[in-house]
Structure 1
Amino acid sequence: MTDDSDPYTVHDRLPDPDTFARLREVTGMSSRSREGIERGLPNSLHAAVAVHEPTGETVGMGRLVGDGGTVYQICDMAVHPDHQDRGLGTRIMERLEAYLEREAPPEAYVNLVADVDGFYEEFGYEELRPASKGMHRWID
C-alpha cells in the first residue's frame, strides 16, 4: 500500500534483467553478463523489489539464492542512490527474512557478503572471522 507520505511499495518478485543490470550499475556493484543475468534470475528462491509508485520505476531489489534446504544466500541488495535513506533496503530485507522464516528448515545456513557496515547486523547477522573467511573468484 502507498499513501502520500510513502510513495514506495515493496513486492515479492524478481526484477527484470534490464532493471537488475541498471541497479547493480548505479549502485557501484560489479557487472554481470546478460547471459548470466538471464540464466540466474529465474533460479532465485525468492526476491523482493521496491517500486516508486508515482513513476512505476523499480528502485530497489534483493534476492535469495541457494538449494532451498541447507544453504541460502542473500545477494544483489541494491537501492538506487536517488532513493536511498528511505528505509527501502530494510523493507526489502524484511521480505527476504519473512521468506526464510516461513520456508527455511531448522539449522539452515544463511550467508551474505556485507557491503554496508551495521545494516545486516540489525537482522541478526554476524561477522564470521576468525572462524571462517569469505572468498571468491571470477570466471573469465
Structure 2
Amino acid sequence: MDSLNDPYQLSRGVPSVEVFRRLRTQAGLSDKDPEAVALALPNTWHGVVLHHEGEPIGMGRVIGDGGTAFQIVDICVHPAHQGRGLGKHIMAALTEELERRAPATAYVSLIADGPARVLYEKFGFADTASHDSVGMYRVMGASHGAGESGAEPS
C-alpha cells in the first residue's frame, strides 16, 4: 500500500463486487447490477482502493483497450472523508500509471459529474466541447427514441 496520511492508505487493485457497489452508492453515484460489476472488475486496466483504518472508503479505475483508448471511471470517496484531498490522491495514482504505461498517442477520457470537473482539470482534462469534438454517452437499456435524451451518466 502507498502511504498517504495515516490512517489513509491507497492500494492497487479493485474492491469486491459488494464493496464496489457500497462505495458508489455511499458517494452518491448510481448503483450497478452485481452481475455487471462482476464482469467489469476483472477487466480493469488499473485500479486503486482507498482505505481508512483498513476499511475501504474510496476507489478509482482506468478501463480501456490498453493501447489507444482509456477511460477513468468510478472515482469516489465516502462523504465522511471528502474535502481532505483524497480524490486528488486517487486521480494522481491513476494518472501516474497512465503516464507510466499508456502509449503517448492514447486518448484518455472521463465524464465529470458536477463540481468534480475542478479536480479533473488539475490533471490536465478539458471539456471536449472546447475542441472539434463533443463527449457523448448512452446508457444501455434506456429508451433511445428520436428526441429522447436517456438517463444521466454516473
TM over 0.5: yes
Write out per-residue CA displacement over residues 46-65 of structure 1, whole angstroms, 9 at most, x where no aligned residue: 00111002xx2100000000
CA distance in 2, matches of 1:99, 1:26: 26
SS of 1:136's partner is coil
The CA deviation at 1:2 is: 5.3
Question: May I ask how many residue pairs the two structures share in their alignment?
Answer: 137
TM normalised by structure 1 equals: 0.91
Question: % of aligned pairs identical?
Answer: 46
* Runs of 4+ deviating beyond 6 Å: none
Cross-structure match for 1:133: 134
TM normalised by structure 2 equals: 0.84
**Does the CA-based 8 Å contact 2:60-2:90 persist in structure 1?**
yes
Alpha-carbon RMSD? 1.5
SS of 1:47's partner is strand
CA distance in 2, matches of 1:72, 1:138: 18
Q: List gaps (5 residues or longer) in structure 2.
A: 142-154
Q: List gaps (5 residues or longer) in structure 1.
A: none
Of 100, 103, 106, 1:105 maps to 103
Structure-to-structure mapping, 1:116-127, within 5 angstroms: 116-127=116-127
Q: Does 1:33 align with 2:33?
A: yes
Cross-structure match for 2:56: 58
Write out per-residue CA displacement over residues 75-104 of structure 1, whole angstroms, 9 at most, x where no aligned residue: 000000011111111111111011101110
